[in-house]
Structures are given as C-alpha cells and as structure tokens.
Structure 1
Amino acid sequence: MTGPLIKDDRLRKISFTGSTPVGQALIREAADKVLRTSMELGGNAPFVVFEDADLDKAVEGAIAAKMRNMGEACTAANRFIVHESIADAFAEKFAAKIGSLTTARGTEPESKVGPLIDGKARDGVHALVTEAVEGGATAVTGGAAVDGPGYFYKPTVLKNVAADARILQEEIFGPVAPIITFSTEDDAVRLANNTEYGLVAYVFTKDLNRGLRISERLETGMLGLNAGVISNAAAPFGGVKQSGLGREGGSEGIEEYLYTQYVGIADPYAD
C-alpha cells in the first residue's frame, strides 16, 4: 500500500476515516516513519433499552440511530439489546415505525429510505439477514430486497436472534435492526461489550444514575444517553478498540495536529 504520500518526508500525520482493515494497513505503513495517526474506523454500536425506558422515545431514538443514511454510517446502531420484559413491545412499535418508511428513489416525493451504495452491499446485508433467520430469528418486518433501479433493501427488524449470529458480530451497514434480550444490568454490559469495536453506544433509561454507571462500564468512545443522534462538531468524535484512535472535533481534535515543545530557559543575568 506504500505510496508517494506516505514516503514523503514532509508528511507528519495521517488521518483516515474508513474500514478497520484499511486503517490497520495505514497504521503499519505509518510505523515505518513514526507518523502520528488518527483513525476513525468501523463500528458495531449497541443500542441498550432498559425496562424503565420511555418506550416511545426509545423507538424514536432507535429510528434516528439506525436509519441515518439508510444505516450506512459508522455511528449507526447495529445491535438492539432490549430488556426481556419489554422486548416484544419494543419490537412491535419499532417494526411499525420502521416498516412505514417508504423505500424509493430520492427523486420520488414519498421517499424516506434510499438505496444502498451498490449491489454487493445489498447482497451482503441480505446474506446476514438470511443467516439470522435460518438460525431461528423472526423478521417482524422487512427481510427482503426491493426491485430497482437501484440497490434497495426493506427496513428490517429481527427478533429472537441467536447470540452467535454473524449479524451481531459484523457491521451491517444497512437498514436492518437485530434484537436480542437481557435480564440484568451485567448482562446488558456484557452483550454490549461483546465486540471488537467500540465507537459509540446508545442507552435508554429514565434512571440517570444507571445511565452514568453504565457509561463507565461500556467500552466505547462515545455514548448517547436517551439520544439517538450525538454527533457534534464541538465534541470529540472517535472510538476505542478496533474502532480507531484519536479524535475529530472539539479541542481534542485540534490537539491531534499539535505537539508539545518544552523550552527550558536559563536566566542570562544570573550570577
């Protein structure tokens, strides 16, 4: 992958937004010249809904977190971890809301869900859904491609997803929401952290103390507490684990392009 840019002695830093495999390759290349790097890479965001959450607000937040750019966003909610006592009600409300979104080309006035980037992406999303259903999951709504022109996929909600399903391990990058359940707070944390990624997480609960307590246990660079959209140019954006390193935005983002120089000055008039 080495190219003229990375070999150039004037280069001091690499900032990259994209997939984790490409980011890993760039970090290896940067090591040869000891370059500073900022990496905003893949995600597998958990969306945790506790039993005391406002269900309607949780569904609104789920739509916002899942459907941004048809799910083709690193910050998109990827795994919906819902307390077992409200999982069916959440799935029903979420499916009704997401299923009502019209899939059509952007030139159509009624369009709410556009196409995925290409046929390979759509086929990959459908393969994840198909495997999940074959493994015991149920499609509450959606679960199929939509005729084009264009590479459309129906907004989909899956419940009863197996714990080892591939759809829970990989970044879906499409309008599909797999739901799994938990019974205790420890279960929720374990399931949320069960990924190599750590970009963003979403937590819905009326208990602020619980929300803050959970935030300290989740392995993510960002957290949306009762919020489905948290990106803000004034805030530090970035993740941990294989979601990357460094930050964009805020004062932390500026610091990524600066270095500290210490100057010790002796008093020239001292005896």
Structure 2
Amino acid sequence: MTTPPVITAVPKNLHINGTWPPATAHRTMPVDNPATNTTLCHVADAGPDDAALALTAATRAQPAWAATAPRERSEILRRAHELLLDRTEDLALLMTLEMGKPLAEARGEVAYAAEFFRWFAEEAVRIDGGYATSPDGRNRHLVLRQPVGPCLLITPWNFPLAMGTRKIGPAVAAGCTMILKPAPQTPLSTLALTGILTEAGLPPGVLNVLTTSDAAGVVEPLLRGGGIRKLSFTGSTQVGRILLAQCADTVVRTSLELGGNAPLIVFEDADLDAAVNGAMVAKMRNMGEACTAANRIYVHTAVAEEFAARLTARMAALNVGDGTAPGTDVGPLIDGAGRDKVVRLVRDAVGRGAKILTGGEVPEGEGNFYPPTVLAQVPRDADLTTTEIFGPVAALFTFDDEDDVVQVANDTEWGLVSYVFTRDLDRALRVGERLETGMVGINTGLVSNPAAPFGGVKQSGLGREGGRVGIEEFLEYKYLAIPTGA
C-alpha cells in the first residue's frame, strides 16, 4: 500500500534531550495496520542504552524545569491544546491507521486528549501549600508542594493519544521531567504528540520518548536504578503487578490504571431507551477494547427479553469495516491475538449454554475483524465473567434480586467502573455506594472526563488520573519548621 502523507510526516526515531536520534543499536520495528495486516512504516526500536540516555536527559533537565514559573508551564500546555485541535484530522487518521478505530471515534479521542492539556494548564497555576503556627506556638509550619522528579510514563495502545496527554499533562503542570514509553502497536500517535509539545515550547529533556519492542529490557533497569521517582502505567493487571514489584526495590511512587471487569446493571424500572443507549456506549466504545467496557451486563428478568431484543437490533445494525471508510461503526481489533481471545471466550460461553443473538462468527478476508455479538443466557461460570473480553461482545445475564446482583457484580478481583440503570434515586445511590469500583455511571455508559478522578480499587489499580487530584500524583509535600522565638 502507498504510505499516507500523514504517516510520512511523523518522526520515526526516538526523542531524547530535544533531538530525534535513531536507536543506538540501529534497530527498528514495524507499525502495522490492523485493518489490512500490512506494515505502515518502521520506527526506532530502543534498548537499555537508549533508556540510560533518556534518563540522563530527564535527570539533568529536572532542576531547571522544576524552577520554571507555573504560568510558563501552563502556557505550554495551552498552546499544545490548541495545536492538537488544529490538527484533529491528521491525528485522527494516524490513530485509525495504527490501531483501527473509526475516524469518528478517533476525532472524538483527539478532542478528549486535548482537554487534558487544557485542564492541567489551569491546574498548573493552582499548586498551593500552607502556613500555620504550631499548637504550642513554638514553630511556624510552612508547607510546600514540589515536583516528585523524573517520571516513567507507560501508555497502552487502545487510546494512544488520550492516555499520553492524561499522563503528560499533570507531569508538565507539576514540573516533572518524563520518559514516555508508548505501546509498540501504536507509537505514531505518541511521536506526533511529542512533536506538537516541542512546537508548543517544551524544553529539551523534559519529555523523552522511547519506542521499543523490548519493554522489559527498557523498563526494568529504569525502575530498579534509582533515578526514576514516579511510575504512571496504564495497562493489564498482570503487567501492573510485575511493575509494582520492580518499583519496590527503590520505593518508586506508583500510579497504576489496570484492568477492569465492569458490570452493567439494568433494573426493572430502568428507562430502557437510556439503558440500551448506555450499554452501547459502555460496550462498543473503541470496539469494546477499553478497560471501562461493560464486560458483564446484568438485566432484571422482568425486562430481560425486551432489553436483549433492542440491544441485538442496535448491535446487528453496526457497520464493520476499515476505520478510514465512510460509514464504518466498528473497526478491526488490534491484532490477531486479540481477536483469537474474543473467539475463545465466545466459544467457551456457547459451549456452556449461552445463545448467540447476533454475530459470533469470524468474517473471511484480511484484517482483525470481529462482528458485534450479543450472547444471551450466559451462565455465570463462563470464562468471560472472569476475563476482560476486550472486544465487541455483549454478554447478557439475568437477575431477580438487588442483593444478589450486587454480590455477583462485586465478585471479581477488579474494581474499575460499574454502571447502574434505574429511575429510583434511592436505589441508584444505594447500589452505587455498595459497588466495589472506583467509578459508577448512573444512567450513563460514559464516565471518562478530564475534570473527574479516573481510577479503580482492588486489582484495578492505585491512584487517580484527571480531576483536581490528578496533579497530586506528581507532587510531593515538603514541610519547613521555622522557630518563632517564643
């Protein structure tokens, strides 16, 4: 295929100390289009030596960057926000080509990503402290907020632009330097974002980018070496556990946004139009490849049949195809392994008694496509109840009792997000408080918002991103005790 101009314009090398060097070993790795299984281009493939150079750059840049005026940091983010919006079409096409989401969704992600820069541009000038006299009158307490120091940011492939800005935004606002390692499937969005930040005035060494196929070889020395003072990771729980163990050696401050197993509960009094709309959003955003995706949909038996019919009609009407084609609703999954996982989970559920209402068959032809699928009468022992589907499969369960459905919803190691649909305000609040998740959508299938704290409990992670607390993850408290002379 002919390489689109938008690909040609993106830097393909590493970004270290304001320059774009190749990997020291001169290795490269391919970036593939999941809609065609063809290679778009090759980018630099970093190794441990490149990681050491990036850490040196970030460490040397840290003192001057921390001393930069908050307004200056704010203005850099504001300019980057505007540049992102100005280049929406190019960035959206780039995302669609390297990870598959339809252009309409990709445009939405650009807007979402840009909003993190605007939000943290405003937070940069609101970093405060405190001043007080001790209770015994002997000391004055001066409390400062200072940047935690060089950070390692690791982003996933499913939202390659927004997950970058969600981490870079607060780090820039707080005055931290960074090393960013994007997912190997989607490095182009990150490299384009890096160019925009450079254009917006981010100084050399503040943001260093390592594209690599050897995550373990690059990341582990950084975490165990003592120079990194903060890790922010978005990805699987399995990898998060490994990183948390590596952080223990040098007590690296850690933020982890890990896997999810989101329940979506539809009570008998729910507005079914709102419930179906919400389920479509919660399930089909990004082809279901989202940690917030509704993995288990519990519907009260009184409305189960009607809900299933409405949802099936909506799912069956979606157009599957290359995300760059007009009218495409559902693009390809990220790779063959991702599709194979979906196939296995659907077959397991059907083998245990689930009924396919639509979809369920792998289409012929190129690309990693899987059709929107609805499974009804899913048994509670199906593998998909304990495994993230990460695909366009809506698994329907039924329930009769509120206590029972809350217990089943909570019966998981994960606790990122849950969704509740009911007209009863008391029930909404009661169930929302009982669900063991960091976020709850009440009569909505979308909870992500830069102005709100995003994160989970249990094995869905540590810390929060976004909202007023997002910048807290990149700041330390320092207390100065000053004698009063009393």
Whether TM-score is above 0.5 comes out as yes
Q: How far is the alpha carbon of 1:146 from its aligned partner?
A: 1.7
C-alpha contact 2:220 2:246 (8 A) present in aligned 1: no
Is 1:157 matched with 2:374?
Answer: yes
Q: Name the residue aligned to 1:104.
A: 321
C-alpha distance in structure 2 between counterparts of 1:7 and 1:163, whole Å: 41
Deviation at 1:183, TM superposition (A): 0.6
Equivalent residue of 2:348, what SS? helix
Measure, in 2, the Cα distance between the counterparts of 1:216 and 1:148: 47
Q: Deviations over 1:20-59 (max 9, x none)?
A: 1110000000011111100000011000000000011100
Give 1 or 2: higher helix fraction. Answer: 2
Rounded to whole Å, the distance in 2 between the matches of 1:104 and 1:217 is 40
Q: Considering only CA atoms, is the larger Rg found in Structure 1 or Structure 2?
A: 2
Structure 2 residue 235 is matched with structure 1 residue 21 = no
Aligned partner of 2:223 in structure 1 is 6
SS across alignment from 2:440: strand
Distance 2:337 2:356 in 1: 22
Superposed displacement of residue 84, structure 1 = 1.0
Instruction: Give the gaps of 5 or more residues in structure 2.
Output: 1-215
**1:144 counterpart (344, 354, 361):** 361
- Map 1:233-244 to 2 at 5 A: 233-244=450-461
Q: Which residue of 2 aligns with 1:66?
A: 283
1:179-194 to 2 correspondences below 5 Å: 179-194=396-411
Pick which of 159-168 and 105-114 moved more. 105-114
Q: Which residue of the partner structure matches residue 46 of structure 1?
A: 263
Code of the aligned partner of 1:181 = T
Q: Distance in 1 between matches of 2:365 and 2:450?
A: 36
1:92 aligns with: 309
User: Are 1:198 and 2:415 matched, yes or no?
Assistant: yes
| Cα distance per residue 1:130-159 (max 9 Å; x no partner) | 111111000111111122321111101111
Q: Distance in 1 between matches of 2:227 and 2:338?
A: 37
Q: In the alignment, which of 93, 113, 121 is matched to residue 338 of structure 2? A: 121
The aligned length equals 269
Aligned partner of 1:33: which letter? Answer: T
Aligned with 1:82 (options 278, 299, 302): 299
The one of 229, 247, 263 equivalent to 2:464 is 247
Q: Kindly state the Cα deviation for residue 229 of structure 1 after the two structures are TM-superposed.
A: 0.7
Kindly indicate whether structure 1 or structure 2 has the higher relative contact order, using CA contacts under 8 Å at least 6 residues apart: 1
Is the Cα contact below 8 Å between 2:339 and 2:369 reproduced in 1? yes
Moved more, 146-155 or 73-82: 146-155
Is residue 19–residue 41 contact of structure 1 (8 Å, CA) maintained in 2? yes
Q: How far off is 1:190 after superposition?
A: 0.9
In structure 2, the partner of 1:30 is 247
Q: CA RMSD in A?
A: 1.1
Would you say 1:171 and 2:397 are equivalent positions?
no
CA–CA distance in structure 2, aligned partners of residues 108 and 31 of structure 1: 47
**Alpha carbons 1:70, 1:114 under 8 Å: kept:** yes
My pick for the range that moved more, 57-66 or 141-150, is: 141-150
**Cα distance, 1:4 vs. partner?**
3.0
Q: How far did residue 253 of structure 1 move?
A: 1.1
Amino acid at match of 2:386: Q
1:119 Cα deviation after fit:
1.1
Q: What's the CA shift for 1:113? A: 0.6
| SS across alignment from 2:474 | coil
Tell me the amino acid that sits aligned with residue 227 of structure 1: T
Q: Which runs of 5+ in 1 are unaligned?
A: none
Per the TM alignment, residue 99 of structure 1 is displaced from its structure 2 partner at its CA by 0.8
What's 1:132 paired with?
349
Number of the residue aligned with 1:260: 477
Instruction: Please report how far the alpha carbon of residue 90 of structure 1 lies from its aligned counterpart in structure 2 after TM superposition.
Output: 0.6
Are the equivalent residues in 1 in contact too, given 2:224–2:247 (CA < 8 A)? no
Query: Residue 61 of structure 1 contacts residue 227 of structure 1 at CA under 8 Å; is this kept in 2?
Result: yes
CA distance in 2, matches of 1:107, 1:148: 17
Q: Could you tell me which amino acid in structure 2 is paired with residue 213 of structure 1?
A: R
TM-score (norm 1): 0.96
Report the identity percentage: 59
**Structure-1 separation of matches of 2:383 and 2:220:** 35
Shift of 1:186: 0.2
Equivalents in 1 of 2:364, 2:428: separation in Å? Answer: 42
Cα distance in 1, alignment partners of residues 220 and 273 from structure 2: 51
- Residue 89 of structure 1: CA displacement? 0.8
Aligned-residue offset at 1:259: 1.9
